[in-house]
Amino acid sequence: MEDISLHILDIVENSVRAEAKRIEIRIEEDEESDLLRIEIRDDGHGMDGETLKKVLDPFTTTKKTSRVGLGLPLLAESARQSGGNIEIRSDVGKGTEIQADFRYADIDRKPLGDMINTIITLVVGNPQVNFSYTHKKGEKTFTLDTSDVKSQLNDVPLSHPEVVKRMRDYLREGFEEIGTSFY
């Protein structure tokens, strides 16, 4: 994968397939500690201990249409290439938590990528899911929570063009405010 946003898209789609109703995506950029941390938490089906042991094996998948599952193994390899690591916790019926750490300044760390379009794609494509996106850079934090957005929209769908435009503008302004690149 070209950038971290595509890893996030792939992993969150796993959460959607696991019937998560709420998915939290957290990104922390800490240049001082040389850390880029990606956390994804969901309240989906979760994995049993046996599945969890094999989840980083590319030839293990729970998908019925594929014999390989590359999302988590590729994310783990990207983290390791930049001197980082990945941790995965999961409980059946409670959900899954993934934390991938990257050395921020490592030459082999992939760029964060287009998080704005990644978030818009996830939100518009999965209106049944409530997403919480938090991005912290240094001491500044930006958050978008679709449950708050939905409560203000009444019956207007998140896919309405004006809602998408406003979400995109809100994300862009938030990224500018915390001083991070939105591509």
∠ CA 66-48-83, rounded to 5°: 75
Q: How confident is residue 66, by pLDDT bands cut at 50, 70 and 90?
A: very low
- Sheet with 140-145, edge to edge strand ranges: 85-91, 95-103, 35-42, 22-30, 130-137, 140-145
pLDDT digits (tens, 9 = 90+) for 46-58: 999 998 888 887 7
User: Of all residues in the chain, what percent carry a pLDDT higher than 90?
Assistant: 83
Residues 6+ apart with CB under 8 A from 1: 7, 10, 74, 78, 110
pLDDT at 43: 98
Q: How confident is residue 28, by pLDDT bands cut at 50, 70 and 90?
A: very high
- Residue 29 burial (CB count, 10 A): 20
The one-letter amino acid code at 153 reads L
Alpha carbon distance, N-terminus to C-terminus of the chain: 15
Q: How confident is residue 147, by pLDDT bands cut at 50, 70 and 90?
A: very high
pLDDT at 15: 95
Q: How confident is residue 132, by pLDDT bands cut at 50, 70 and 90?
A: very high
pLDDT at 74: 92
Q: How confident is residue 59, by pLDDT bands cut at 50, 70 and 90?
A: low
124 and 17 in contact (C-beta within 8 Å)? no
pLDDT at 68: 39
* Number of separate helices (H) and strands (E) present in the chain: 6, 6
Q: Is 65 helix (H, G, I), strand (E, B) or coil?
A: coil
pLDDT at 54: 85
Determine the average pLDDT of the residues in 72-94. Answer: 95
Residue-averaged pLDDT of the chain: 92
Determine the average pLDDT of the residues in 144-153. Answer: 95
* φ, ψ (nearest 5 deg) of residue 42: -140, 165
* CATH T-level topology, domain 4-178: Heat Shock Protein 90 (3.30.565)
Helix residue ranges, H only, the chain: 4-17, 49-54, 71-81, 115-125, 146-153, 161-178
